[in-house]
Each structure stands twice: as C-alpha cells, then as structure tokens.
Chain A
Amino acid sequence: MTASTPKRIDWTAVRERMAAAEATLRETLEPSSQAHQQVLQQRARQMAQVPASDAAGETLEVLQFVLAHEHYALASRFVDEVYPLRELTQLPGAPRFVLGIVNVRGRIVSVIDIKRFFDLPERGVSDLNKVIILRDGSMEFGVLADVIEGVNLLRMSEIQPPLPTLTGIRAEYLHGVTAQRLIVLDAQKLIRDPAMVINETVES
C-alpha cells in the first residue's frame, strides 16, 4: 500500500523553496547596497532630465494690462511701479502721443499713449486710469492703461513671432503674440527708442 499511502510532504524541499522565496523577497524589498545605488542613480538620471515642454527655454515675467480692449504685456523688470492716474497736466505743443505729465510723489513723469505712439486707429473705448511707469537706466516715462491684469510668467516658446497685420504695431517693438492674443511689447526697445525722446526747438 505504499502507493496508496498519502504522499509524504517533502519538508526539505518546502524549506528550500521558502528560503529562496524569502531571499527574493528580501532582495526586492531591501535591495543590496549595490542595487540600491543602481536604482537611485537611475532615478537621479530621470529627474535630471529637463521636461521636454520646458526645453525651449526661458521665461519672461510680464505685467499684463488692457488698453482699449486689447491685452498687452511688458517685461516686468522695466516696470518701476503702477500709479493711479489722478490728475494729468497737458502740455500744449507736445507731440500727440505725449498726453501730459503727472506728479509721482514730487517727481514729474511724462505719460504717453502707446496707441498714438504706434499710430494705431483710435477705436474702442478707454478708461484710462493707470500709469505704468517704465524705467531703464536714466530713461523714465509712463504708459497709460485701462486695467492692470497682474504679473505673469510667460514661456518664450508661447510667444509667437509677431504678425504685424494682427496688431498694427511694427514688428521691431514686439516680442510677439501669444495664443491668447496677448501682445507682448519689447519694453526695452520702447524705452530706448530715440523717437520717444522729445527735443523740440523753435526756429527763429
């Protein structure tokens, strides 16, 4: 009846299999220091990779504002401050794009209308109540705005090359336009533009 005797459990084999399983388990849960290192290095390599979407690069911190229903942005590092427009003193005889001067804590700042500076058609309605004061080096002036929308970080890759027909502004003054139709002006170009400086004389 040996054949019919129930199969004896081979305890030795069981113990061996158990030990092997335990070793595998331990290796997985508590990897050897070498494997540990390998995993860590692999992770580090993964993390060190620049995400593909940001690869195109830099970002630009901009101040967004609305003027006559158009959305504009200017690099914030050229923005000195935003000042509420309370009283504007006009200067007779000044070029049309110079709207006047304002008193900013005892300092006089000239204020321009970029629509007029760029000869854009004067359509739409403005509620001019903010002055964005731009400064670069010793140059300083204010740009009129209807609404300030805040400071935002734009990826350069988001900014499409300018379409002059879309904005009416000459390409040289633009970084570009975003998909949301935000017109990103080149603040530095604007500030350093010799056409911005008024130097009139009266001929005798």
Chain B
Amino acid sequence: MTEKEERFLQRLLATFKVEASEHLQSMLTLLPELEQGPDAAAEATLIETLFREAHSLKGAARAVNQREIEMVCHDMEQLLSSLKYGEITVSPEIFETLYQALDRLQPLLVGTPAPAAPTTAPVATNPVPAGVVAGGSAVAAPASSASGPVAEATRAVPAEPVASETVRISTAKLTALLNQAEELHALKFGAAYVASEIAELSRGFAGWRKEWGKAGKALRGSRRGRARDLAAQVDGLLETFEQGDARLRLLDERLQRIHRSAEQERRSMAGMIDGLLDDMKQALMLPFSSLLELFPKLVRDLSRDSGKPVELVIDGAAIEIDRRILEQMKDPLIHLLRNAIDHGIEKAEQRSQHGKPAQGRVSITILPQDGNQIEIAVADDGGGIRHDRIREVAARSGLLREGEVSDDEALQALVFESGFSTSPILTDISGRGLGLAIVREKVEKLGGRIKVESQQGQGTCFRIVLPATLATFRGVLVSIGDRQFVLPSVNVERVARVARHTVSTVENRDTIPIDGQIVGLVWLADVLGLVRPRSDDDAPLQVVVLGNALRRIAFVVDAVLADQEVLVKPLGPQLQRLRNIAAATVLGAGKLVPILNVPDLLLSAIRVAPAGGAVQASAPEHQQRSLLVADDSVTSRSLFKNILETAGYRVTTAVDGLDALTTLRVGQFDLVVSDVEMPRMDGFELATQIRRDSKLKALPVVLVTALDSREDREHGINVGADAYIVKGSFDQGNLLEVVRRLL
C-alpha cells in the first residue's frame, strides 16, 4: 500500500469513528426509550429508527473493512427486523441481547484498528446464534476473534487524536464566524483611511514649518536691518502671521476630523472584536445533551447491578456550555450518579416502608443562571445524608470539636473533605464518600463551586454552579505594592474596608466581623510569601472575603482596582501546577497578571504562621523594606550596606548600574542608593533607565556622589533622581534621613 493510500485510509477511518460513535450514541439513547414501553405507534417508530441506525453502521463498517463491527450490527439488524415485522415481540431478553451487542460495539469502536491487510482482518467467529431471533436468551460471546482487534488496536493508537480532536460545528455558527471575519475587511480600509489622513496632515505641517522657518529668518534679518523699511517688513510678517493662522485653522479642522474617524474606527473595531470573540465562544459551546445521552444506559446498568429500580429524569439538556467544561464534567457527573444510585436510593422494600414509590428517581437538571453561569443539579429521592452520623464521624476525626454547634450547611459541606470521606463508617451509612473531594476539586478547577442540600429521608441534591464559558470569566483585580493579581469573582464573597480596631485575635489568629460573622483575617502578601508593603497605621484595611464550600477567609490587599472580564491563559507546559496560582491573564498593553487559585489560597492561609499581624506589624515596619545599593567601590558598598542594615533595612548590593538594573528587574525593592561614577552604566543612566521602565518607574532613587557641581546636581534631577547626596558632605544621619523621607 502506498503511503498516500495509507493516509487516505487513516482519514477514512477517522471519519468512520466519528460517524460510528454517532450511530452508537443514538442507539444508546433510543434503546432505553423503547424499553420504557411507549405506545404502539411510538414503539414502531423507535424500532424502525434503531433498525436504520444498525443498518447504517453496518454499511459504514463494511466500507472500512471493520468486519467484527459489521457482524455485530448485522445480528442486531436481524433481531430488529424480526421485531419490526412482528415475528417476535419485545421482551427483557431481547433488550438484554441488544444492550450486550451495544456493549460489544463500544470497545470495538474505541480501538478501531488501523487498516490491515484483508487477510489479517478479524473475522467474527461468533455471530449471534439464531436462537436469539426466536426469543431465546442466548447471547453472543465475544471470544476467539478478540485477539485480532486487541493486537491491532495497540498499533492504532497514534491515529487516535485524529478523531478525538475533531470538533463538529453547526454550519449556522460557522457561517456567522465567517461573516464576522469578512467584516474585518472594513477595519483594514478604515485604518488605511486614517493613516492616509494623518500622512496628509503631516505633509501640511511640513509645508507650514518650512514657511515659518523662512519668516523667522526674515524677522531675524530685519532686526539687524535699518528701521526705514520697518513698515514694509511688519506688513510682510503680518501677512505670514495671517497665513499661519489660516493654516492653523485648517489643520485644526483636519485634526478634529481625523480624531472623529479614529474614534469611530475604534468603536466599530471594539464592537467587531467583541462580537467575533462571542461567536468564537459560541462555536465552542455544546449542548449538555451530548454528554447526558450517555447516562440513560449508565443508569440502567447501575440500576440492574444494584437491584434497585431507578428512573432518570433529565431536564435542560439543550442548554449549551463550553465544550472543554463539558468534557471535564463527565467523570464528576458519573460519580454523582453512581453515588445517588448505589447509596442514595434505598432498596425497594425500604422505600415502600417509608411510603415512597418503589421506583427510585434520579434527576439531572440544567438551569442557566445570571452572570453567564449554569447550574447542574443532581438530585435523588433517597434517604438523604444523616447529620447525626456526619457529626459523629467529624468529631472522631477531629474536624469538629465536641459540643461545637455547626449549622446544617456547614455540616453537609464536610462531606467534601478528602480526609473525611474515606471514613468507612460514613461510606457505610450515607455512601457519599470516596471521590466527592475529587468532584469538588474538578469543579473548582473549572472556576465553579459545589454544595450539597439534603433533607433526611427526602433525598439529596448536589448543586454545581459552573461558568458557561471557560475562556473568560469575571475577576477582581487587586494589588499588593506594585504587583497585581486577579481573584475569580465566583469565589469573592465580599469586598470591604474594615477599621483596624475591629481586628481581634481569637486563638492566636486575627479575625474580623463581616456581616455579623467572625471571619479569619490574613494578609494576601503573607500567604503569597511577598513583603507586606508599608501602610498607614490608621487607614482602614481593604479586605476581600474569599470562600468555597468549606471555609471563608478575609484577605488583606492594598487596593481593589477593578472588577472585570478576564481572558484565562494557561501558564504553559512547564508550569503544570503552581501553588496558589491557577493561570494568568493579559491586561492592558500585553501585561500579564497572575490569576490566583482560591482553594489553594484558603489552604495556604491556614498554614501561614499565626501572628497578631494587624497591630504589631507597624513596629518593625522598615525591617521589611528592601534597598539596593549600587557602587563600584567595595569600600563604599560595605559602608552603605552597614549603615542601612544597622538601621534595619534589608540591603542587596550591585557592582554597577547594569547589575543594579538587572537585580531590580528580577527582585522586589523599595529604594535604590547609587553611586554616580561606575563602569558600564553610571548612576545617571541607571536613573534614566529606571524612570523608563514601566515596572520600576516609581522607585525612589538616591544618587550619592563625589561630583559637587551645580550641573551635576541638575543632571541628577533631570534624569529623575529623588535625592542627590554629595560624598563630601556625607554623614550617616543625612543618608538615613533621606531614605526615611522617601520610603
């Protein structure tokens, strides 16, 4: 087989996989419907559709030489055909046979082998025995031929991504995207127009400047000249002035016109970009049904295995959500369903004793919510979570102290604790155990939250709130010193300013009252391992209360800057997972800002050494201030370092301006003390560079030098130094005084 043919077959197989899984999915949805015993007309339609699906899959399988799939489909087709023509009637055995056939198809499709030479193609040696058609319960056993596909499936692995990375998108959405992309042409023309207008304007200015220069020359000439033709010269100048005035008016008008069209351009560009982004997000949306259609079969299997009759009710399956979120939610939802059936729903006898219908009921309800969020509620009508037992186990494992009163909500939230759920007793009684911690982690990773509601004897409901789109979400932008961070709004419960005197220490931890509740207080800087910037002792504290299902803690920040939509960017393949930082976003002119991981922060906050921070923090304040000393002389360096360290500052040294600049770029400093004469880069240049650097420009710079001329002082001030100390008049006192004043 040539390489080209091989590639073609690979492509064909990839296409087949997509098609086949659709047929399979559709059969998996239709079969439970048929089983629920619809009326005769509906039954006929369902059988007919199932028959056609099996038939199409058979044809497709034959086209790509998938003999085993073809055989399974063929048997299903025969059975369905007998049903269709009334040769046999539906019975549990028939369903069992059909389900088993579907079960056989699933692994076959997953490992669809690479095209093999016809001679090695697996031949199904065990077709469904004829007895089944007659209503018997014999079942096809996938036996000897199994070794064939398995061996080849291993080979087929590299071809796998071809199918899995394909996205189906409706033509309507694609057309909308195309239209928007075409519209971008208009922007190109708009920008070209503005550019040509500006070029014209600039030519106008050049002409004017030339004449202005001439007039200036004439004026200077006339000053040296004799006074007798003064009148004529004044006339000439007046004329030039009037011409200039006319030009000025013209240029002004033109400038205003350009301004207007640039503004118009900007507005339409903003509109188009937002629209395109929205539509692009739409293209990534899939209805929940694409995931939920797996579930009727799953529930049926679980119900059969556990011997509890259960019906599944799905509501809101047409609601769309980001494809990536949906993929991530598959396992958590399966886990919750399994829990609900295994442990939530009681046995039929027990249910009748409590006056409930024998058949249990599990529901999945999708509900759109405000602010681009979607709620998924997974509910059962089983026994519910027994609070007394949670309390008992919690007390035993130390999560809850003896006699501590905790409201129902807080108590129920404990089931998400990972240490908690492994307790065998809890798993016995309520069963909501192993894995709930993982479900919570998944949900929180997606920027969502989960909580549980349970009425004893009435059932349990897990409510998961997720963002509808993953790409952007709302975030609160906060700052610590000159660093900025984004906190996902979904975790921000409150933003508040609190007076320092309201901080009180409970069990060696700072707390503040928020909405009548006592909430733990930590400095975000401490949690992140940053230096706490100095702050006014009397100023109120700016706090952000963060919370998840388990706890809420108030974090002190310097300022809350904005609440805005942010675009989430992963940190790249090297940084798989960082403590406290989930991702980053791009703000303003390409500036990256870390997005914090709130569940991590809440955990880290507990680990931060408990200290009565709010009150005592101000005393050893300047010890935390970090200074950089740049001097090429070892003696001067050690002198400054010594003086400043004795005064309680943290001092780093650099050997010249370039070294200082590099150190400043990668470190965190509050002030720079620099010599002027240094090799490679002098102090003036260092100060200039610092003022030019977007991150460093606010950094106070103190120049210390032997140069004591007025020019040098002026030069120092021109390049942006905040203070200029001359070595001749240097003493310890004035350096410290200057540093203190600038910090």
Interface residues of A (CB under 8 A from B): 87-94, 98-103, 106-110, 112, 125-128, 138-141, 196-204
Contact = CB atoms under 8 A, between A and B. Distances in A.
For the complex of A and B, list the 5 residue pairs with the smallest distance between their C-beta atoms, beginning with the closest: A125-B659, A92-B528, A89-B592, A141-B574, A200-B579
Contact of B575 (A94, A103, A202): A94
Given A101-B571, A198-B578, A204 B592 contact: no
Interface of B: 418-419, 483, 528-530, 569-581, 584, 586, 590-594, 600, 603-604, 607, 654-656, 658-659, 661-662, 665-666, 668, 680, 694-695
Contacts of A139: 573-574
Interface of B is mostly: mixed
A89 B593 contact: yes
A202 B573 contact: no
A102 to B, nearest CB: 7
A139 B592 CA distance: 21
Given A108-B569, A198-B575, A202-B580, 13 more contacts: A87-B694, A91-B575, A92-B483, A92-B530, A101-B584, A108-B571, A109-B572, A125-B656, A128-B666, A139-B574, A140-B573, A200-B577, A203-B603
Nearest to A127: B658
Given A108-B570, A202-B600, A202-B604, A103 B666 contact: no
Contact of A93 (B571, B578, B665, B668): B578
Contact of B579 (A93, A100, A110): A93
Contacts of B680: 125
A167 to B, nearest CB: 22
B594 A199 contact: no
Nearest to A128: B662
Given A93-B528, A198-B574, A198-B577, A88 B665 contact: yes
B580 A87 contact: no
Nearest to B480: A92
Nearest to B571: A108
A108 B666 CA distance: 18
Contact of B594 (A87, A91, A107, A196): A91
B384 to A, nearest CB: 27
Contacts of B661: 127
B174 to A, nearest CB: 23
A83 to B, nearest CB: 12
A89 B575 CA distance: 14
Contacts of B580: 92-93, 202
Contacts of A128: 662, 665-666
Contacts of B419: 204
Given A92-B530, A101-B592, A202-B603, A125 B655 contact: yes
Given A93-B528, A93-B579, A198-B578, A103 B572 contact: no
A199 B577 contact: yes
Nearest to B417: A204
Given A87-B592, A87-B695, A140 B529 contact: no
A199 B592 contact: no
Contacts of B694: 87
Contacts of B603: 202-204
Contacts of B529: 92-93
A90 B664 CA distance: 12
Q: In the complex, which of the residues A88, A94, A99, A203 has the most CB atoms of chain B within 10 Å of its own CB atom?
A: A94
23 contacts: A87-B695, A89-B591, A90-B666, A90-B668, A91-B578, A92-B530, A92-B580, A93-B578, A93-B579, A101-B575, A106-B586, A108-B569, A108-B571, A108-B584, A125-B658, A125-B659, A126-B659, A141-B574, A197-B573, A198-B574, A198-B576, A199-B576, A202-B604
Contacts of A138: 573
A131 to B, nearest CB: 12
Nearest to B580: A93
Contacts of B593: 89
Nearest to A92: B528
B528 to A, nearest CB: 4
Nearest to A140: B573
B578 A103 contact: no
B637 to A, nearest CB: 14
